Amino acid sequence: MIEKQINQKAWFMVLPVFLLVAFSAIIPLMTVVNYSVQDTFGNNQFFWVGMDWFRELIHSERFHDAFLRQIMFSGIILSIEIPLGIVIALAMPKEGWGVPVCLISMALPLLIPWNVVGTIWQIFGRVDIGLLGHSLAALGIDYNYTQEPIAAWLTIIAMDVWHWTSLVVLLSYAGLCSIPDAYYQAAKIDGASRLSVFRYIQLPKMQRVLLIAVLLRFMDSFMIYTEPFVITGGGPGNSTTFMSIDLVKMAIGQFDLGPAAAMSLIYFLVILLLCWIFYTIMSNVGEESSNGGV
Amino acid sequence: MTFNWMAWTTPTATFFIVIFCMLVGMTIWEIKCPGGAPRQSILHFETTRGDRLFVSLLGSAYIHIIWLALFASLSLWWAFAIACVYALCVFRWV
């Protein structure tokens, strides 16, 4: 009988990644924790304030508003992009010349940098020179994203859907392609409807990739900064000031490092909790359905 | 190499040393009893002891924040005591 060899050499392979993460994430995070309990007026001089910044932040209306806007934005984005991505993936051809055409046209928006996407939509939506803004104005629709909060929100949501639905499509398509033909043949023999095929074959098989899609889209939309910053700069008023924009205003604009650090930590905790909840729910739903013998 | 730029204070240093000791402790525990002791929690999903530590720490952070939000004038040590009891409950039942 072969005895199992215990080899600890793999730890050394992990060391470079650990060092990289330490320098890029752990040490900066520790610094943020240190800043969050102190006040500074520059010149690397800090004064202990305890939990004051956290107390102030938790009771601040500005933080509540930015947080609610952020939750609302992520909720809207997920509820549009996930179903839309699945529908497009289902409609895409599985063989023939249409496959590369669809895949490439889907991948195109993903290749464009965030600030360029922001600029494209900023110009696209302008009433004077933009195609969208000008066309809507010609149709008699009152649309001006620099002055009306609803128009600004619609523009940012449309931009995000345009930019990121492709990611959900590509992930769902990969999930769909991995389903063996035997499943469809069995469904055909049983006389399953199109809806049953989707509900009992395609959706369970896509669960893993959808988990990744939801997590990626949630995290990305929850920390969105560049695009709304380029399009609206957080305006009109504060209507599109999401948490990241508010955080940058506080940390760099006002140089309030202490409150900004406290806000970063609460932001971090919210993301950590929501991701944990998403991950736990979706991985357990996946296990239950695979145990159920679908 | 100095760490002045990180603006260390005794309480935050103590906080990180305690977290580091917890991780070392969990590693020693894992070496003594490998496998992570998975079990079905009262929340109807499987957890290992690493999950339990994560849930304890995350929950403790929220307990402190909620305490600050609701009882800003009272001592934060009460929140710490609640968090300790919460962590014990998580390790016992979750």
Please say if the pLDDT value at position A294 is more than 60. no
Give the mean pLDDT of B20-38.
89
Residue A159, token pair as written in the block: 């931009």
Residue A284, token pair as written in the block: 């357990």
pLDDT of residue A291: 53
Q: Average pLDDT of chain A?
A: 88
Give the mean pLDDT of A133-161.
90
CB contacts, 8 Å: B1 with chain A:
none
Residue B94 belongs to some domain of the structure: yes
Q: Which of A226, A252, A269 is nearest to A113 (CA)?
A: A226
Residue B78 belongs to some domain of the structure: yes
pLDDT of residue A172: 93
Give the mean pLDDT of A50-61.
90
Domain count, chain B: 1
Q: Is the peptide bond before A236 cis (omega within 30 degrees of 0)?
A: yes
CB atoms within 10 A of CB A109: 17
Residue B56 belongs to some domain of the structure: yes
Is residue A49 within 8 Å of residue A258, measured between CB atoms?
Answer: yes
Q: Do B45 and A284 touch (CB under 8 A)?
A: yes
Vertex B75, ends B73 and B77: CA angle to 5°?
155
Least confident range of A52-56, A208-212, A283-287: A283-287
Domains defined for chain A, CATH in brackets: 61-245+260-291 (1.10.3720.10)
Residue B61 at interface with chain A, using a CB cutoff of 8 Å: yes
**Coil vs helix vs strand at B46:** strand
ipTM summary value: 0.90
CB atoms within 10 A of CB A214: 20
Query: Quick one: closest CA in B to A288, which residue?
Result: B45
For B65, which of A40, A58, A280 is closest by C-beta distance? A58
Residue A269 at interface with chain B, using a CB cutoff of 8 Å: yes
Residue B66 belongs to some domain of the structure: yes
Query: Quick one: closest CA in A to B59, which residue?
Result: A273
pLDDT of residue A290: 56
Residues 39-68, chain A: which have Cβ within 8 Å of B? 40, 44, 46, 48, 51, 54-55, 58-59
Q: Is the peptide bond before A28 cis (omega within 30 degrees of 0)?
A: no
Percent of chain A with pLDDT over 90: 44
Give the mean pLDDT of B58-82.
92
CB contacts, 8 Å: A51 with chain B:
68, 76
Query: Between residues A235 and A154, which one has the greater pLDDT?
Result: A154
- pLDDT tens across A199-217, in order? 888 888 888 889 889 988 9
The model's confidence at residue B1, banded by pLDDT at 50, 70 and 90, is low
Give one DSSP letter per residue of A231-248, joined into a string: HTTT-STTTT--HHHHHH
Residue B46, token pair as written in the block: 């499987």
Query: Quick one: closest CA in A to B45, which residue?
Result: A284
What is the spatial distance between Cα A71 and Cα A79, in angstroms, rounded to a whole number? 12
Residue B37 belongs to some domain of the structure: no
Please say if the pLDDT value at position A292 is more than 70. no
Residue B77 belongs to some domain of the structure: yes
pLDDT of residue A293: 41
- The b/e string for B26-42 (b: 16+ C-beta within 10 A; e otherwise) is eeeeeeeeeebeeeeee
* Nearest-CA distance A59 → chain B (Å): 7
Is residue A267 within 8 Å of residue A247, measured between CB atoms?
Answer: yes
CB contacts, 8 Å: B41 with chain A:
none
What is the spatial distance between Cα A239 and Cα A25, in angstroms, rounded to a whole number? 31
CB atoms within 10 A of CB A30: 19
Q: Average pLDDT of chain B?
A: 89
Which of B9, B56, B70 should we substitute to test contact with A (largest number of A Cβ atoms within 10 Å)?
B9
For A30, which of B6, B11, B76 is closest by C-beta distance? B6
What is the spatial distance between Cα A160 and Cα A85, in angstroms, rounded to a whole number? 13
Q: Identify any residues that bridge with A39 across adjacent strands, giving them in sequence order.
A: A47
- From the centroid of its chain, how far is CA A257? 26
Give the mean pLDDT of A62-84.
94
Query: Between residues A113 and A11, which one has the greater pLDDT?
Result: A113
Beta-strand runs (E) in chain A? 38-40, 46-48
* Nearest-CA distance B7 → chain A (Å): 6
Residue range of the domain that includes B68: 50-94
Residue B72 belongs to some domain of the structure: yes
* Phi, psi (rounded to 5 degrees) for B62: -65, -40
Residue A198, token pair as written in the block: 């989707």
Please say if the pLDDT value at position A51 is more than 50. yes
Residue B21 belongs to some domain of the structure: no
For A55, which of B12, B45, B68 is closest by C-beta distance? B68
CB contacts, 8 Å: A30 with chain B:
6, 12, 16
